[in-house]
Structure 1
Amino acid sequence: MITDTLLTLFIQHWLSLFIVGLAIRIVRNRFNRGLNKYPGPFLASFTNWWRFYDVYKRRPELTHQNLHAKHGDVVRLGPNYLSFADPKALKTIYGLNKGFVKSEFYPVQQSVSNGHRLPSLFSTTSEPFHAQLRRSVNSAFSMSSLVQYEPLVTRTTEIFLTRTADLFASSSGPSCDFAKWLQFYAFDVIGEMTYSKRHGFIEENQDVDGIISYLGKLFDYVAPVGQIPILDLFFLKNPLYLLAAKYGIIDATFPVAKFAAQRVQERYPKKDGNGILPITDAEVKTDKSQPDLLSKFIQAKHDRPEFMTDQLVMTMAVSMALLLF
């Protein structure tokens, strides 16, 4: 009886209830945690959609500069969002055990492979996971390891110089878009350092497999969507979309992840077509005389198999390409 009465009242007054609920939400956002004492755009204090639109226009840094010039070092850009312009705040915000945790902006930037999300050092919000992963791969980025990668960089640099001369040295040849050409070089250097194999940007003088174009579009997506992270669950990280990708109904794997998977499969004797990466033997197929980042990640898996899974090997391999954006 009571349930029927409440249901009847809800049906009769749903619009009024919606308006009251919306008003409560707006007022709560405005005065959230006392942040109303900080200056900023009035609309931004009520909703994150203001910031979404500003980022969508592609030049939010200009907005931030203008707002800080007007209001000072601390500006409110959302119901629960403050922007700091004082460098002294860096130590307080990013220092160890300061109590400031990463927001849900970061998981929006996770790559996807075969329907699986790939949380990385950058995109994870879990401090224990971050600490474990960093501990597992730290040796790959030590100074002694970086020195080992120098021959790989040299090899790509030599090809870069040769191709530059072949393509652009002639007065009758095409002009060189040097910014794009250097980006091709950077991607091939990272490919060589990570997999001992270039993507082929320099040799082909083009965006191989549309990787750069895809990453550009991806960041056009994650920048605004990251301001309202729940939107990601309706689009690229939609559970139904990922489930369909997991079972091969659709292909949601990022192009960089495909390249990384191919390079890993070349190192592993493949036994099974299932999973994120092929099932592997205990021994790693790699050139011991010339280690690369992938060999270090695979070694980390063998050193810490209880944590460093195939998925995390893939995550680290993909993350290296994303460093360039």
Structure 2
Amino acid sequence: MDKINVHTDFASLPLLITLSAPLIIYLLYHLVLFPLFRSDLRSIPGPFLAKLTDLHRLLLVRTESAHEHHLRLHERHGPLVRLGPNNVSVSSPAAISILYNTRTRYAKSDFYPVMGNVAHGKVVPTIFSTQDESVHEIMKRPIAQVYAMTSLKSYEALVESTEIFFFDRLRELADEGRPIDLGKWLHWFATDVVLEITFGKRLGFLERGEDVDGIIQMIEQRFSYVAVAGQMPWLDKLLHKNPLIAFLSGLFSKPTMSPVMKFALERIEERKREFREYPEKRGEGRDFLTRFLNIQDSHPNIPDFWIISWCQQNVQAGSDSTAITLTSVIYHLLKNPDTMETLLAELDNANLPSPIPWDIAHKLPYLDACIKEALRMTPAIGIPLERVAPPGGIELCGNYFRGGTVLGVNAWVLHKDKKVFGEDAASWRPGRWVEASEGERKEMERALFAFGGGSRVCLGRNISYLEMYKVIPELLTRFKFELKDPSKEWALRNAFFVYTKGVEVTIQRREK
């Protein structure tokens, strides 16, 4: 009997295979043959596995050093590298004016909605994460002027308020004589500044000398998840944005609110209450929140969650990008003492007032060169900013890509282009910006992609510029920094933003 059963089971296999054959052929074609032999991407070089699955690029990002992997791939293969079955990394200055121009506005890829938070079962759009250009335009239009440099100059007093407190804390640390992690202190400073100019109130990172309520760590973890899950966006729909998982989680735990969200909601409610009681104060506020609420008052159709979204975006993106560049400037100056001497000579000879006004600071040529060189060497974002080719396709670097192909430029790769930045593009040399002819300098500036480009260029870039140009000269003329171990290299952790680690320094007061 056993033999008969076994024979009967195996006899059914051909029928099973016959019935399954169409499905097997379909999967084989769509998952292996089509990606492998796709005509428009067949000639694009890259790792073999990248032609078959997005898992390859996910694993690269998971290493937290994707920028280094992408740079090596482009050094080996040239301006076009295939990172996935439908994903190509582009490293060409010409690609910026095509992929990110303000006229055609190519759609963002499915990577971006991964950044969105879920409320009441729906993904809440933000200016940065929305794929819908009309939604982006509607959300951006009312506040665009608030971010113009002419408006941001009115925030100088708020930046200076936090600066003064920061310098007091650094004097205390200098007197104590113990080494500090400069990257951490600059991150706390940048976060307190952006909170001050957004809400008119700091949260106390500098006062306490710590990551208050783990907010910075929480933001890093969030971007780390986004960077990885965004390589295969369906994972986010399965995990983070799955209604079933959200329902089951709600059965076993109460929903929690992030400290940033809690702080934002408290400030918004506090400000609204103040305006109800003292309407005349509406015209007195200098921070973003007051201006956002005034905009809402004149545009009643603006929902409250837009105010929250605008404020949160300031904090989450503004603090990280600024802190990374501030740390990069000082780290590279300390590792290259000749450039530090050149900058200090410029600052000393300029006979600068204190606090240093933006109108003076941004005109100092070598300071400007150092900040641009830091943005070039260590752009804050370390993965490609993806766009989708339009239905009619697109031509880049002499290659045609059919509609729907995901294409993106990684600033970390583009900024090492020797044709644009010289044979020493991998080295720190601020002088390249000063010595270049006007034409060469404009070419380098066009290729500077640290804040993205086109209609989706980082809205808060001027906030970063304002902070950097004001605080760096003050820091260097007030204090002398030395690396605790000059032979030690810093560590970089790519979690969408490329975070700096291990910049330990000693501080001394500098005679003025």
**TM-score (structure 2 length as normaliser):** 0.55
Match of 1:159 in 2: 165
Match of 1:131 in 2: 137
* Residue of structure 2 aligned with 1:316, choices 301, 305, 310: 310
Residue 27 (structure 1) aligned with residue 22 (structure 2): no
* Contact 2:285 2:291 survives alignment (8 Å): no
Please give the alpha-carbon distance, in whole angstroms, between the structure 2 residues aligned to 1:305 and 1:201: 35
Please give the alpha-carbon distance, in whole angstroms, between the structure 2 residues aligned to 1:291 and 1:16: 68
SS of the residue corresponding to residue 89 of structure 2 reads strand
Letter of the structure 2 residue corresponding to residue 312 of structure 1: W
Please give the alpha-carbon distance, in whole angstroms, between the structure 2 residues aligned to 1:309 and 1:76: 41
Letter of the structure 2 residue corresponding to residue 108 of structure 1: V
Please give the alpha-carbon distance, in whole angstroms, between the structure 2 residues aligned to 1:244 and 1:313: 30
Match of 2:326 in 1: none
Moved more, 190-199 or 251-260: 251-260
Letter of the structure 2 residue corresponding to residue 85 of structure 1: S
Q: Unaligned 5+ residue runs, structure 2?
A: 1-11, 321-512
SS of the residue corresponding to residue 212 of structure 1 reads helix
Match of 1:257 in 2: 261
SS of the residue corresponding to residue 175 of structure 2 reads coil
SS of the residue corresponding to residue 35 of structure 1 reads coil
SS of the residue corresponding to residue 283 of structure 2 reads coil
Q: Deviations over 1:196-253 (max 9, x none)?
A: 0112100111101111111111121111100011111222222245568999963254
Please give the alpha-carbon distance, in whole angstroms, between the structure 1 residues aligned to 2:204 and 2:46: 47
Please give the alpha-carbon distance, in whole angstroms, between the structure 2 residues aligned to 1:46 and 1:128: 34
Q: CA deviation at 1:29?
A: 2.3
Higher strand share: 2
* Contact 1:113 1:252 survives alignment (8 Å): no
1:284–1:263 Cα change, 3 Å = farther
Match of 2:52 in 1: 46
Q: Deviations over 1:49-88 (max 9, x none)?
A: 1101111011111111111111111111111111111111
* Contact 1:191 1:198 survives alignment (8 Å): yes
Q: Tell which structure's C-alpha radius of gyration is larger.
A: 2
SS of the residue corresponding to residue 149 of structure 1 reads helix
* Contact 1:115 1:245 survives alignment (8 Å): no
Instruction: Note the aligned Cα RMSD (angstroms).
Output: 3.0
SS of the residue corresponding to residue 135 of structure 2 reads helix
Please give the alpha-carbon distance, in whole angstroms, between the structure 1 residues aligned to 2:49 and 2:220: 29
Q: Deviations over 1:16-35 (max 9, x none)?
A: 55533321222222244621
Match of 2:430 in 1: none
Give the alignment of 1:122-271 within 5 angstroms: 122-166=128-172, 168-171=173-176, 173-242=177-246, 250-269=254-273
Give the fraction of aligned pairs with identical amino acids, expressed as a percent.
33
Moved more, 135-144 or 248-257: 248-257
Q: CA deviation at 1:283?
A: 8.5
SS of the residue corresponding to residue 83 of structure 2 reads strand
* Contact 2:53 2:85 survives alignment (8 Å): yes
Residue 294 (structure 1) aligned with residue 289 (structure 2): yes
Q: CA deviation at 1:98?
A: 2.9
Q: Unaligned 5+ residue runs, structure 1?
A: 1-7, 271-279
Which structure 1 residue ranges, 4+ long, deviate > 4 Å from structure 2?
A: 13-18, 112-116, 241-249, 280-287
1:317–1:113 Cα change, 3 Å = farther
1:107–1:285 Cα change, 3 Å = farther
1:267–1:116 Cα change, 3 Å = farther
* Contact 1:114 1:253 survives alignment (8 Å): no
1:130–1:245 Cα change, 3 Å = farther
**TM-score (structure 1 length as normaliser):** 0.84
Q: Deviations over 1:245-298 (max 9, x none)?
A: 99996325433222211211211239xxxxxxxxx9699795632321111111
Match of 1:274 in 2: none
